[in-house]
Amino acid sequence: MPVAEDLSPAADSATLRRAYSCFPSGVVAVACRLPDADGTASAAGMAASAFTTVSLDPPLVSLCVQNTSTTWPRLRTAPAIGVSVFAQDQSELCRQLAGPAESRFDGITPIRTADGAVFIPDAAASLSCSLFNEIPAGDHTLVLLRIEALRFDPGVEPLVFHASTFRSLEALREGR
């Protein structure tokens, strides 16, 4: 068996980012309604690319949130958190939700549930979740969310993040 001699040390964050970018990831919006200072409620949320399915029983998904996030501490207190899987044509919307907090929902008419989960219209899937667990993980927190209710459309192609850019999927034909 050949010996791998071309491995780089994992101590360099730039090298790690480039290596992590080799793994494609779905991109989601994580959002809910929160009370404003004046007593009204408005949408609060963020985009996340470190998202994955975890378990069928109980129904769990995960996302990783930077410990420096100022949005997650607000979202985590909500009774219901909406997770929207961005559709392939929603890259600009995803960038907007990754931008400054005060303008993330400008020009968007989100969909909401009675208990406060907020969804992006025309997403590939919408998951109404509750906080299940949080696990410290280095400079991030691994967040486990329990899916309480959902809707989805397998015919809507998802937005994919790979090699630091947005991409779409291509179905491979058999025999390829």
Instruction: Tell me if 171 is assigned to some domain.
Output: no
- Tens of pLDDT, residue by residue over 117-176, are 999 999 999 999 999 999 999 999 999 999 999 999 999 999 998 888 888 877 777 665
Domain coverage including residue 85: 25-163
pLDDT (mean) for 72-98: 95
Helix or strand (DSSP H, E) at 132 = strand 125-137
Instruction: Tell me if 100 is assigned to some domain.
Output: yes
Instruction: Tell me if 11 is assigned to some domain.
Output: no
- pLDDT averaged over every residue in the chain: 91
- Tens of pLDDT, residue by residue over 64-75, are 999 999 999 999
Instruction: Tell me if 173 is assigned to some domain.
Output: no
pLDDT at residue 176, rounded to an integer: 55
Instruction: Tell me if 44 is assigned to some domain.
Output: yes
Instruction: Tell me if 5 is assigned to some domain.
Output: no
Q: Residue 2, CB half-sphere, CA atoms under 13 Å: how many?
A: 3
- Residue pair 121/110 in contact by the 8 Å Cβ criterion: yes
- Tens of pLDDT, residue by residue over 141-155, are 999 999 999 999 999
Q: For strands 125-137 and 111-112, give the pairing.
A: unpaired
Helix or strand (DSSP H, E) at 94 = helix 91-97
**Domain of 37: which CATH number?**
2.30.110.10
Instruction: Tell me if 76 is assigned to some domain.
Output: yes
Instruction: Tell me if 61 is assigned to some domain.
Output: yes
For the chain, the first-to-last Cα distance in angstroms comes to: 28
**What's the number of domains the chain is made of?**
1
